[in-house]
Structure 1
Amino acid sequence: MHQRTDRAVREEPFAAPLLDAVPRQPGPAAPPPSPPPHSGARRWLRLLPTPTGTPFTSGYLLVLVGTSLFMEFADPATVAAVLRESSTDVAHLRETPLLVLTASALWAVGGLGSPVVFVLALVLTALERRIGGWRTAAVFVLGHVVATLATEIPVAISVVVGHLPESSLHRLDYGISFGLMASVGALTGLFTPLLRTLVLGGLGVMLASDLVELSNPLTDWGHPLALLLGVACWPLLGRAGAVRGEVIRGAVPSRRAPRDTRPPARARGPR
């Protein structure tokens, strides 16, 4: 019994190095993970708003659906009275500025049949998925409020100095177009340079033609101003989008197995 134990002890220091000297054959490389089924359909579905992914866009569109149905089916006299009280003309801005600035953004000109509502849904969805709901709402409100005040204050001054009649203080002015243009301007900052140039160039031509015709001066001047306000938000939104992307990537666990950085264990002899 003692002889066998001593022999095993004497052979053990030589056996372990011999085992370590044998090179390990690498196993077959794992095939790359295949894309999940219906990944293309899911990518296209991300263009549509969802209550969990885009709460601001979904809630705002729900409000527009309600007000559009009211415009469609309510008594015409009641609808006209409500729209007059929601108008951001000079008279209402002087009396109840916060009320009319909020109420005027709750109505879509033309109702749900207007293509502006469809464009608004796509733009706000893309912007909110990139920078978040609070920042998207801030861009929309900034364009709506600033462009409205910038076009109505000159009207008030013109009436005071006598360049416009007093009836210009009472006019019907409501809609979502100023907020939409600011959102489009902000969204183009997240595009590639080529796509950004094409979108802004096309919008510039369209807005310039509206200014030449000047069929609705306040709206025609407010749209390019709102677009420039959205463009002015590029530095802040780009930084916010990068931070949001890092947070999202950090929250998703990696599918790769963790790499073992510990040094290989050395064979030890008998104590």
Structure 2
Amino acid sequence: MLTAPGTATPLLDGMPRQRTVPFPVAPSAPPVPAPAAPAARPGVRAQGLLPTLTDTPFTLGYAAVLVVTSLFAQYADPSLVHTLYQESSTDVAHLVSSPALVLVASALWIAGGLTSSYALLFLLVLPTLERRIGGPRTAVVFLLGHVLATLATEVPVGLAVMVGHLPDSSLHRLDYGISFGVAASLGALAGLLPPWARWTVLTVFGGILLDDLAQFTDPLSNWGHLLSLAIGMGTWPWVRRWQWTGRQDARAHG
């Protein structure tokens, strides 16, 4: 084995000694900046605010039914429409004879038609709530307001008739529409808003309901709207939990 002169360092047989002078390193090129993400177009952002079958199937399906029944009520024979209203009414007589049928049928009509204030609230409130907690849970909130507020206003009427404080004619009245369910949905949605928006919405809407009650034009319906709003507010612990669960599921599938 060969060794370097004057040292004991062995060299490989027949191999020249390796140089220790490093080779020059080319200077690194400056980093190329990543291209900036294109700004979102206003049209695309606006489309994301509109309800779609993907994220609001319950609202759009229900809205389609309400459009059909409202157009029918507008253009069909008035006597036929009045008969259907009477058969769909959640008055005491119908609640005793066919409660499930009239509770469903009464929610298929819009009192005042497509231009009523509750029709507009339906299109604003239900899609927003459904995006946050899902369609089945939105339906549960709506039905809670619709059913419980109806029973809370009609059962006292039946009891008052039984004890003689109201005439028998009070058992038969027109009581139909989506307003109780919409009011409950608004009350539930308020619990998911930031505090300043939550109390602004409740103050404005609650003030309108109290003003309607003070005018005493339809006290049963007015009390029902206030009760529906309170029922929706009572669902805050559940809708907040449902919203958190929905976000966790979205992250897990994201």
TM-score under structure 2 normalisation? Answer: 0.86
Partner of 1:268 in structure 2?
Answer: none
SS of residue matched to 1:111? coil
Cα separation, partners in 2 of 1:188 and 1:41, compared to 1, 3 Å: farther
Partner of 2:37 in structure 1?
Answer: 33
Structure having the higher Rg: 2
The total of aligned residue pairs comes to 243
Rounded Cα–Cα distance in structure 2 between residues aligned with 1:251 and 1:172: 47
TM-aligned CA deviation for residue 25 of structure 1: 8.4
Rounded Cα–Cα distance in structure 2 between residues aligned with 1:200 and 1:111: 25
Partner of 1:76 in structure 2?
Answer: 78
Question: Aligned AA for 2:188?
Answer: A
Partner of 2:87 in structure 1?
Answer: 85
Partner of 1:123 in structure 2?
Answer: 125
Rounded Cα–Cα distance in structure 1 between residues aligned with 2:15 and 2:31: 36
Matched, 1:219 2:221: yes
Partner of 2:57 in structure 1?
Answer: 55
Cα separation, partners in 2 of 1:43 and 1:188, compared to 1, 3 Å: farther
Cα separation, partners in 2 of 1:156 and 1:31, compared to 1, 3 Å: same
TM-aligned CA deviation for residue 45 of structure 1: 3.1
Partner of 2:109 in structure 1?
Answer: 107
Question: Aligned AA for 2:106?
Answer: S
Stretches of structure 1 lacking an aligned partner (at least 5 in a row): 253-271
Q: CA RMSD in A?
A: 2.7
Cα separation, partners in 2 of 1:6 and 1:193, compared to 1, 3 Å: farther
Partner of 1:209 in structure 2?
Answer: 211
Question: Aligned AA for 1:169?
Answer: L
Cα separation, partners in 2 of 1:179 and 1:251, compared to 1, 3 Å: same
Partner of 2:145 in structure 1?
Answer: 143
Rounded Cα–Cα distance in structure 2 between residues aligned with 1:106 and 1:251: 35
Rounded Cα–Cα distance in structure 1 between residues aligned with 2:242 and 2:14: 71
Q: Percent same amino acid among aligned pairs? A: 51
SS of residue matched to 1:154? helix
Question: Aligned AA for 1:55?
Answer: P
Stretches of structure 2 lacking an aligned partner (at least 5 in a row): 1-10
Rounded Cα–Cα distance in structure 1 between residues aligned with 2:219 and 2:250: 44
8 Å Cα contact 1:53/1:129 also seen in 2: yes
Rounded Cα–Cα distance in structure 2 between residues aligned with 1:167 and 1:67: 28
TM-score under structure 1 normalisation? Answer: 0.81
Cα separation, partners in 2 of 1:5 and 1:161, compared to 1, 3 Å: farther
